[in-house]
Amino acid sequence: MTVPVGIHDITLATARYALDLGELARRFDVDVNKFYTGIGQRVMSVPAEDEDIVTMGASAAARLLERDGGPMPRTLLFATETGIDQSKSAGVYVHGLLGMPAECRVLELKQACYSAAGALQLALGLVARSPDERVLVIASDIARYDLASSGEATQGAAAVAFLVQRDPALIEIEPASGLHTLDVQDFWRPNSRNTALVDGKYSVKAYIDSLKGAFDDYRAHGGASIDEIDRFCYHQPFTKMAVKAHTSLLQHTGRPADRQAVADALAPTFTYNAEVGNSYTASIFIGLLALLDGDVDLTGERIGFFSYGSGAVSEFFSGRVMPGYEAHLHRDEHASALLARESIDYERYLTLHPGTEVSSRGDYTTAAGAGRFRFTGVREHSREYLDVERAPESSTAAEQ
């Protein structure tokens, strides 16, 4: 009998501030229902000056490792679109902040919003080769578009951390997988920019074309038929994208496709993403968390996952929910990460948006925020971080 391998534990972290999309609607004199209903988003998380992909990733991973009784992971895969260094992996900063053992391989993976699904597949391969290994995957991103652009309403920020191992408590990932890669310019971010460039309508089409290609490849490689998949969990740049995508997949496979029925079926995967906004690589796994945390018993159900990373690489894969999974959920933790955010207005949000071009600021110190992990600033081109709980009292006080 094959030993199941998959996701054993998972959690999320997000940023300090929350901007209701009603604020954007007010600023641009747009009907707020364009955002609430038209794209299916209500709020976006906005990072404080001392937050970035490392601090969010460390927050999620710290909680996971602190409650975990198993051996330390020997691999840490950090997936992100929002890289902070051209050379050093953001995962190495997290490894240091969490005091992980030196006997660990750490890598950063990049392919827009796809890389965390790629990291999951690499992790499954490592565990298949060495069944006692455990892999920590962190997906952490800040979605940023230009001010006053059509993408502005689809910004957001969040991280997930999950552990991949044999005999997982939550989800067994099945072997079949469907792949699709196409060299397109639908969304990209040159090194000189903080904000992504995007051809919005073309990106929606590229997403849907990729879904059809990846699903066909999944079927050709022994994947379940669409009727054998109980739930679907999509990458959600905005939640309405998943509705458009699944409606197209049903049509593609010759099934009836009523848009409202599709929206209702996918809704349990939307609850967190509608509140944090696009979190690029983390978004599909935040959709999974919302589904698991919902009030339906999913035991034994098959979930079909579609991950899409502009540019474009995508994958369709599936997993089964393990018996007893409910005993391993942490619903309160996820709800409080969202509730703990401080609401801000458009004017405050403007002061936190970094603008389009990356500027060379020299040395600087960031204002102290409220999180455990802080990006404290740059000294001689090095980013510096602090774990407030482990810092000597004097250094924390000095930061404030």
Active-site residue list: 81, 113, 235
For residue 184, count other CB atoms closer than 10 A to its CB. Answer: 17
- For the purposes of burial, counting CB atoms within 10 Å of the CB of 76, is it exposed (0-12), middle (13-18) or buried (19 or more)? buried
Which CB atom, from 260 or from 360, has the smaller least distance to ligand CAA? 260
Q: Cα separation of 299 and 38, whole Å? A: 33
Decide: is 310 part of the binding site for ligand CAA (CB under 6 A).
yes
Q: Segment 13-32, which members bind ligand CAA (CB under 6 A)?
A: 31
Stretch that binds ligand CAA, among 59-67, 94-102, 198-206, 292-300 (CB under 6 A): 198-206
Residue from the set 27, 34, 88, 353 that interacts with ligand CAA by CB under 6 A: 34
Residue nearest to ligand CAA (CB): 38
Decide: is 160 part of the binding site for ligand CAA (CB under 6 A).
no
Q: Which residues contact 274 (CB under 8 A, 6 or more apart)?
A: 40, 41, 42, 43, 239
Minimum distance between the CB of residue 209 and ligand CAA, rounded to whole angstroms? 11
Decide: is 197 part of the binding site for ligand CAA (CB under 6 A).
no
Decide: is 37 part of the binding site for ligand CAA (CB under 6 A).
yes
Stretch that binds ligand CAA, among 67-75, 119-127, 203-211, 223-231 (CB under 6 A): 203-211
Q: Which residues contact 160 (CB under 8 A, 6 or more apart)?
A: 10, 11, 12, 13, 60, 116, 138, 139, 140, 279, 282, 285, 286, 289
Which CB atom, from 187 or from 232, has the smaller least distance to ligand CAA? 187
Which CB atom, from 317 or from 325, has the smaller least distance to ligand CAA? 317
In 3D space, the residue among 288, 171, 178, 283 whose CA is nearest the CA of residue 226 turns out to be: 178
Minimum distance between the CB of residue 145 and ligand CAA, rounded to whole angstroms? 6
| CA within 13 Å, CB half, 265 | 21
Which CB atom, from 160 or from 298, has the smaller least distance to ligand CAA? 160
Number of shown-chain residues binding ligand CAA (CB under 6 A): 26
Minimum distance between the CB of residue 256 and ligand CAA, rounded to whole angstroms? 19
Q: Cα separation of 136 and 66, whole Å? A: 13
Which CB atom, from 37 or from 336, has the smaller least distance to ligand CAA? 37
Minimum distance between the CB of residue 110 and ligand CAA, rounded to whole angstroms? 14
Tokens of residue 7, six digits: 């996701």
Q: Cα separation of 148 and 182, whole Å? A: 29
Q: Are 44 and 18 in contact (CB under 8 A)?
A: yes
Diameter over CA atoms, the chain: 66
Q: Which residues bind ligand CAA (CB under 6 A)?
A: 31, 33-34, 37-39, 113, 150-151, 153-154, 187, 198, 200-201, 203-204, 207, 235, 237-238, 241, 278, 280, 308, 310
